[in-house]
Amino acid sequence: MDKVIYDHEQFDVRMNVNFQTIIYSDGFIGLSLSPRHSIRAKKSLWEVYGFRLIENRREVRGIRVRSKHDMRMYFVKDVLDKSIDEPLDELKGFSMRNIYGEYGLDSGEPGVLVYREGLYTCIPPSLLYRIYDLHELKKLGVSRDVYRCIRRNLHEWPKIAEKIVGEINPISLLDNEIYFKLSV
């Protein structure tokens, strides 16, 4: 589920769902569904900065980004002075083109050093989209509108959760069928 609930020229707000399974001591399996919202830029770092990315590296250090490649969230550590065609130690001697070549990268793109949970990697800026929080939206003057939209959307959450549970039931596993029921 990835539904746009607020549209702005620079970003959109999407409703997402976090799934978690729980196995209880009595053998029952629980499914936890939690509403999540992401506020993601419409343009990649490369589309926003282009060849100015290296000179604007201070501006992007520390921002949160989502990778188009694996949909994970990272923090930007730095913008490297190396192109996507150069082998990098962070990628065990491979270039970013070796790893991300399927995306049709621009040869002028520098590497962006990102980290997540203490692990570092390099990703081309054309695959990285800025993630905003409500504090950053306040600077843009739209935090109240976004917050109202998120709150309004949360009122629909029980219906959405019911639809999700209905669509996944039943799950077949090793000649057993698992059914989930909604309890709020």
Convert the pLDDT of each residue in 143-154 to its tens digit.
889 989 888 888
Mind listing the domains of the chain with CATH numbers?
A: 3-178 (2.170.260.10)
pTM of the predicted model as reported, rounded to 2 decimal places: 0.78
DSSP string, 87-152: --GGGTT--HHHHHGGG---TTPEEEEEEETTEEEEE-GGGEEEE--HHHHHHHT-HHHHHHHHHH
- At 184 the pLDDT is 63
Q: Do 150 and 134 form a contact (C-beta atoms < 8 A)?
A: no
Could you tell me which of 39, 45, 44 has the C-alpha nearest to residue 6? 39
Residues in the chain: 184
- At 25 the pLDDT is 92
Q: Do 29 and 51 form a contact (C-beta atoms < 8 A)?
A: no
Is a pLDDT exceeding 90 seen at residue 55?
yes
Confidence label for 101 from pLDDT (cuts 50, 70 and 90): confident
Could you tell me which of 134, 143, 123, 138 has the C-alpha nearest to residue 65? 123
Convert the pLDDT of each residue in 33-47 to its tens digit.
888 888 999 999 999
